[in-house]
Structure 1
Amino acid sequence: MTFTSFETILYQCLTPFFERHQFMWLPDKKQYRQTTDMGFQNVMLLFSVYENETVLDIQFGCRNNQIEQIAQQFLTNRAVSYSDANTLVVSIAQFNNFQFARFSIHSEEELVVACEQVKHFFDKIGFDFLTTSCTLPNLDKRLNEHPDNPCPYVYNQIHRCYKGLITARLNNNIYFDGLIDRYRHLLIHQTQNPYEQIHFERLIAYLYYYSAN
């Protein structure tokens, strides 16, 4: 199966489904996206074509504009543009505790089956997760409920320290001061960049005086 035929079948199978749920296809970003009052929800299609197979990975998540507007001022390394940064992002495989790997596809028939599995996942779990996760209290819970453990909904755990602390401040989390100490400690073990702690301390100072009004 050629790269072109794979793309054609993939989009033909998935686009009508996601459009029914108000997710529009953005070809330049390889993702379906729904704009929300707080930011956006998105589903990203990542695939690699090899000689005998194509590997498909589906990632999904959400963006909270208020969190990102603050975070992007202080993060020292940004992999994507400011306007496209996700607050949470996870793959279907990771969301399911890696009970199955990414989709390994060898034929058009297998691709159609994979698309049906993707649609089933979002109908049963994915859309509900996106809807509930985008609220500030749930973002606070997902980022900060277990501060000493890696957060499964953020690939970059350094970014988690920044975004978790910002979310806690915006949500008036009563454990905000304790989270400062936890994330300071985590940063020391996460990076050897001498400027990272400086940027994080600047964020802390900013948040102490931040007012949303």
Structure 2
Amino acid sequence: MELTQIEEELFGKLAPFFERYGFAQVRAFNQFRRPTDNGFQNMILAFSPCNGETWIEAFIGIRLDMVEQLAYPFTTGMQGFRRNSNTLVTSFGRLQGQPYKRFCIKGAKCLSETRRSISDFMIEQGFEFLDKYTQLHEIDHLWNATPQEPCPYAFNQAHRCIRGLVVARLASQYPFEDVREAYRKQMEQHVHLLPRFDKLATFLEAYSPN
């Protein structure tokens, strides 16, 4: 099966399931997306052809507009992607404590099995994760209760530090200076982003979310 055919057929098979939960296809970004009061939730598919087969990895994510408006300009994200960035995104595999979880597509039967696996995962774990971390204080706890520790869900720890600092200021659950100090130590390993982090921290010192 051709890659474009696999993409079309899998999205077609998944559409009725996700539409029941208020998600719509956003094919430009290979995802299903559901709007929230403060951003959106999404499920993203990444397709990789390999030796005549197609491997698929699935991700779920949350966008909090108030976080992205402050944090995104200080990341390495492309300017044109600013309105579509995720605050938190992780893979099905990481949510199950694995480095990755991939689906191999060899034919039509595999597509049906993959659809079933994705829908089962969302019911058992995915939707709960999305609803939990759509709440600012939950992301704050995830990232900032122990800011010196890596977050198992984050692919980019430097961006976690940048977004985590913004979340710390907005949520005000944990001492801002403690969070800033912990993240700055980590950012010393990312020297190309350290000036951006320092600039953001200085801005946030004077920022009032109210």
Compute the displacement of 1:99 (Å). Answer: 7.6
Q: 1:20 and 2:20 equivalent?
A: yes
**Match of residue 134 from structure 1:** 134
Aligned to 1:25, what secondary structure does the other structure show? strand
Compute the displacement of 1:72 (Å). Answer: 1.9
**Match of residue 84 from structure 2:** 84
After superposing the two structures, state which structure 1 stretch, 173-182 or 108-117, moved more.
173-182
TM-score (norm 1): 0.92
Compute the displacement of 1:148 (Å). Answer: 2.1
**Residue identity in the other structure for 1:84:** N
Instruction: Give the distance between the partners of 1:169 and 1:192, measured in 2 at CA.
Output: 23
How well do the aligned residues superpose, as a CA RMSD in angstroms? 1.6
**Residue identity in the other structure for 1:209:** A
Instruction: Give the distance between the partners of 2:145 and 2:36, measured in 1 at CA.
Output: 24
Compute the displacement of 1:104 (Å). Answer: 1.6
Instruction: Give the distance between the partners of 2:57 and 2:118, measured in 1 at CA.
Output: 10
Q: 1:204 and 2:201 equivalent?
A: yes
Instruction: Give the distance between the partners of 2:99 and 2:174, measured in 1 at CA.
Output: 36
After superposing the two structures, state which structure 1 stretch, 38-47 or 153-162, moved more.
153-162
**Match of residue 62 from structure 1:** 62
Distance 1:52 1:166, change over 3 A: same
TM-score (norm 2): 0.93
Distance 1:202 1:49, change over 3 A: same
Matches within 5 A, 1:43-54: 43-54=43-54
Compute the displacement of 1:100 (Å). Answer: 6.4
Indicate if the aligned counterparts of 2:145 and 2:174 stay in contact, CA closer than 8 A: no
**Match of residue 174 from structure 1:** 174
**What 5-or-longer segments of structure 2 have no aligned partner?**
none
Indicate if the aligned counterparts of 1:71 and 1:163 stay in contact, CA closer than 8 A: yes
Instruction: Give the distance between the partners of 1:31 and 1:135, measured in 2 at CA.
Output: 21
Paired-residue identity, %:
34
Instruction: Give the distance between the partners of 1:28 and 1:103, measured in 2 at CA.
Output: 21
